[in-house]
Amino acid sequence: MNEIKSPYKWVGKSPIRPDGIPKVTGTAKYGADFTLPGTLYGKVLRSPHAHARIKSIDTSKAEALAGVKAVVTAEDLPNQDFAYIGPERVAANFWHITRNILAREKALYEGHAIAAVAAIDAATAAEACALINVDYEVLPHVIDVDEAMADDAPLLFEDMITRGVEPEPTKPSNVSKQLTFEIGDVAAGFAEADVIVEKDFKTAAVHQGYIEPHACLARYGADGQGEIWSSSQGHFVVRGLTAKIIGMNLADLKVNPAEIGGGFGGKTVVYLEPIAMALSKKSGLPVRAAMTRDEVFKSSGPTSGASMTIKMGVKKDGTMTAAQGVYRFQAGAFPGSPVMNGCLCGFAPYHIENQHTVGYDVVSNRPKAAAYRAPGSPIAAFGVESVIDILAKKIGMDPAELRMKNAAHIGAPSVAGPKLAFEGYSETVQAVLDHPGYKAKLGPNQGRGVASGYWFNGAGESSATVFINTDGTASIATGSVDVGGSRASMALMAAETLGIDYDDIRATVSDTTSVQYTHVTGGSRVTFATGMAVVQGCEKTIDELRKRAAMIWDVDVEGVIWEDGHAKPASSNVGE
C-alpha cells in the first residue's frame, strides 16, 4: 500500500496536549476549585413541584439566621422586556432566560430555582434554604410532547401564541413556534413512488451527563466591577448573559475560563453565574456556587425528547422521490428546542427533489432543553434512517446501497434552500461498502446496522492574538474554551504557519478582557473558526516581521521571504 505523504510538518501529528500534565497530576483548576478570602457558600432553593404558581416567598427567617449574609429571589433581578433577539434558529428572549435563572410568577419544573442563599458555610446555607417559606398553588403539569400539544393541555404560559403561523392564532397553546420548509412538489413525488412508508417515532429526553457539575465563583466589588471564574463552554456568553440579567455593563464584568469537565453542549447555558453574582453584590463578599449531581439532572437542560412522523417514497430501482417529516420537539419549560436543526438535517444526506418538513417547538414542565452534540440532528436521523431501512427491505435492496444511490452531491437541493456546496457522504458510504467487515458473513444471532447523519458547522465570532517573544517562541491567546483539545490544535496550526516547533508555542484560553469576543465552543466550529483566526493572525505576524526585516536591511518587503520561522533574503542579490 502506498503511503500518502503529508504536506504538513505538524498538522496531523498527536503531540502532548498543553493541558495534559495539569490534568493527570490534579493541578488543573475546575469551576469548584476557585476561592477567595471571605468566600461564602451559595445554595439554591428549588421547586418540589413540576408546575405551581408562586403566591408568595417569605425569606425573613432565612435572613435572620446567624451566618447568612444574603438571600435573593427573582425580585432582586431586573425584569426584562419580552423580545426575541438574534437569528431565528438561535433567537434568545431574556424575559424567558431571567425566569429560568430564578422563577417569578410560576415554578415550571421540578428543580426550578426559586431563591438562593449565601452563608458562611454549606450547612448554614442549606439550613437557611429550608427556612424560606414559599406559598405554592400547585397546578396540573404536562411532560409529554404530544400531550403538551393537546387542546386541553395545562398551559405553561396563558398568553403564548404560536409564532410562524399565518394567520396568527388567537388561542394560546404550548406550541411556541411552527417552522415549515419545502422544496419541489411532495404530492407529485409520492405519486411517482412505487413504495411509500410512513412511521411514527418517539425519543426520550437524554441528559448530556458531563462529569463535572456546574460551578462558579463570583465577586462583585465595591467599585461596581465584577469577576467570575466559571466552568462553561463560552465565557464570553457567560459575561453577556450574566451582565444582562444582573444589570451590569459588559465592561464592568470579567469572566475567567476554568478547565471544563465535559459539556457536550450542556454548558453553553448559564444557571449559577447570575445567582452567585447577585448574592455577591448583596453580601459584598465573593460567593461560590456549585450544583449537586441531583441538581444537575433535575435543573439543567437535557436534549429534547421528541415525537415525529416520517414519510418517504422510492421507486423500485431505489430512487427516492419524496420525503416528508413532522417533528415535535420538547423545549422544556421555555421556548428554544433545536427543532429547526431537525427539520434541516434529517433528509440532508440525500438527493431528494421533493421535500417538506414541519417543526413544532413545544414547552412542557421539564428543565429547559440545552444543546447536546449536533442538537436536533440525531433525533431526526433516528426516524429518517429507520424508514430508509424499511424501504430497503421492501424493495429488496441493500441498506447501504440504497443510501449510496441517493447520496447528495455538490449541487443537490436542500430543504434549507441553498444547494449543497460540498460533498463527502458518498465516499463515506463507499468506504463502508468496501470494508471487509461489511462483507463478512453474519453468524447466528448477528445483525448489521447502517445509519447516516448530517451536521453543519456552527457560525459565530472567533478571535486570536499572536505574540512573538524575544527568544523566538510564540504565545497564542484565544477565547475558545478547550473542551476537546483545541489548545493543541491551535498550537499545531500556529507551528505550521509560523514554521517553528510545536514545543515553542504556548496556547492559552484567555479571559474576556485579554482577547476579543469569541462565541461558544459548540456547533463543531472551533477547530475551523478559531483555527482560522490563529492562522490569519500568524500570517499577519509574518507580514509584519517581513516588513521589519526589510526596514532593517533597507530593502523592499518583496525581497524578504519567511522560511522555517525566520525572515530571510529572497535571493543572494537582495539589496544590491
Strand partners, 168: none
DSSP-derived secondary structure for 245-268: HHT--GGGEEEEEPB-S--TTTTS
| Residue 3 confidence class, pLDDT cut points 50, 70, 90 | low
Identify the pLDDT of residue 459.
85
Averaged pLDDT score across all residues of the chain: 96
Q: Which fold has domain 147-207+302-439?
A: Aldehyde Oxidoreductase; domain 4 (3.30.365)
| Residue 4 confidence class, pLDDT cut points 50, 70, 90 | low
pLDDT digits (tens, 9 = 90+) for 485-516: 999 999 999 999 999 999 999 999 999 999 99
Distance CA 537, CA 558 (A): 20
DSSP for residue 349 = T
Q: Is 485 left (phi over 0), alpha (psi -120 to 50) or beta?
A: left
Distance CA 32, CA 217 (A): 7
With CA atoms as reference, report the closest residue to 288 among 213, 217, 214: 217
Q: Is 38 left (phi over 0), alpha (psi -120 to 50) or beta?
A: left
Distance CA 401, CA 390 (A): 13
Within 155-234, residue ranges assigned H as helices are 186-192
Distance CA 204, CA 358 (A): 20
In this model, does residue 576 exceed pLDDT 90? no
CB 33 within 8 A of CB 101: no
Output the pTM of the full model. 0.95
pLDDT digits (tens, 9 = 90+) for 34-52: 999 999 999 999 999 999 9
pLDDT digits (tens, 9 = 90+) for 9-21: 999 999 999 999 9
Query: Look-up: residue for cell 393537546?
Result: 150
Indicate where the chain has its CATH 3.90.1170.50 domain(s).
34-139+208-299
Q: First CA to last CA across the chain, in angstroms?
A: 51
Identify the pLDDT of residue 372.
96
CA 433 to chain CA centroid, Å, is 33
| Residue 458 confidence class, pLDDT cut points 50, 70, 90 | confident
> What length does the chain have?
576
Indicate where the chain has its CATH 3.30.365.10 domain(s).
147-207+302-439, 464-569
In this model, does residue 426 exceed pLDDT 50? yes
With CA atoms as reference, report the closest residue to 311 among 262, 268, 358, 370: 358
Q: Which amino acid is at 148?
A: A
As a whole number, mean pLDDT of residues 166-179 equals: 97
- Please calculate the CA angle 457-461-465 and round it to the nearest 5 degrees: 120
CB 464 within 8 A of CB 530: yes
Helix%, strand%, coil% for the chain, nearest 5? 30, 25, 45
As a whole number, mean pLDDT of residues 397-426 equals: 94
Out of 144-158, 336-350, 417-431, least confident range: 417-431
Grid coordinates in use for 29?
A: 483548576
Helices (H) and strands (E) in the chain, counts: 16, 22
Return the percentage of the chain with pLDDT > 70, whole number: 98
In this model, does residue 575 exceed pLDDT 70? no
Cα distances (Å, whole numbers) of residue 228 to 137, 245, 385: 36, 14, 44
Identify the pLDDT of residue 422.
87
From edge to edge, which strands make up the β-sheet containing 175-183?
175-183, 355-363, 320-332, 306-314, 195-203
| Residue 1 confidence class, pLDDT cut points 50, 70, 90 | very low
| Residue 2 confidence class, pLDDT cut points 50, 70, 90 | low
In this model, does residue 192 exceed pLDDT 60? yes
Strand partners, 508: 477
Q: Which fold has domain 34-139+208-299?
A: Aldehyde Oxidoreductase; domain 3 (3.90.1170)
Identify the pLDDT of residue 6.
86
- The three-state secondary structure class of 441 is coil
Task: Indicate if the alpha-carbon torsion angle 537, 543, 544, 546 is positive or negative.
Answer: positive
Distance CA 392, CA 381 (A): 16
Identify the pLDDT of residue 87.
83
Q: Which fold has domain 464-569?
A: Aldehyde Oxidoreductase; domain 4 (3.30.365)
- Residue 36: burial class (beta carbons within 10 Å; 0-12, 13-18, 19+): middle
- Residue 475: burial class (beta carbons within 10 Å; 0-12, 13-18, 19+): middle
